[in-house]
Amino acid sequence: MQFLEKLFGKTQVKKASLGIYGPPNAGKTTLANRVALDLVGREVGPTSPIPHETRTIQKETVELNINGRILELDLLDMPGISTKVDYREFVEQGLPQDEALLRAQEATKGVIEAIKYLDNVDLAITVIDSTKVPYDQINAVIVGNLEARGIPSIIVANKIDLPDARPELVKETFSNHTVIALSALKGDIKILYDTIEKMIK
């Protein structure tokens, strides 16, 4: 596979980019922060219950030691993918109208930037909120774009610490994909590192 050849050629240190995709508030930045804290001791960016807190691509370079080989990853926390960004949604969240309009404008640009950046991603994670119905348009667009470009990907059924989580529904919906269940906020995310390792062997 070209992906494997790119990662592990003749040298012991290889570089690749890992894009974290998903709809707004699925837990992308929370997951990116957990990985960055584990590996470099600092967070990638702030989180918020208000949608589209991440409106530009946030990057942190981390290293994974995989069987003695160092994988240097550009960890890319992407803006939330959305089919519609409405400033009134932010007003309802308590933001002043001028701030809501600016956030909507920045969020729209962020969605476009995130989709365009797919051409620079070697491996992708799609974060899905397992408390919500997984078969919706946004998830289908993200997964479909990754498939069309032949980008290896992992689907994360997130928020399994919540009582209404249904990670099994995510696995059923995306049965032809690699799906793992975890809580980016509270749980052990070693399963994510193990899955990355399996995908690049």
> Domains plus CATH for the chain?
8-199 (3.40.50.300)
> pLDDT (tens digit, 0 to 9) for every residue of the chain, 201 residues total?
455 455 555 546 778 899 999 999 999 999 999 999 999 999 988 888 888 888 898 999 998 887 778 888 899 999 989 888 888 888 998 999 999 999 999 989 999 999 999 999 999 999 999 999 998 999 999 999 999 999 999 999 999 999 999 999 999 999 999 999 999 999 899 999 999 888 876
Supply the pLDDT for residue 49: 82
Provide the sign of the torsion angle of the four alpha carbons 26, 155, 54, 138, taken in this order.
negative
pTM of the prediction?
A: 0.87
DSSP 185: T
Dihedral (Cα; 141, 147, 153, 159), 10-degree rounding: 30
The one-letter code for the residue type at 105 is Q
Supply the pLDDT for residue 50: 82
Supply the pLDDT for residue 15: 85
Distances, alpha carbon 64 to alpha carbons 4, 15, 40, 61, 106, in Å: 15, 10, 10, 10, 32
Beta-sheet pairing, 13-21 with 123-129 = parallel
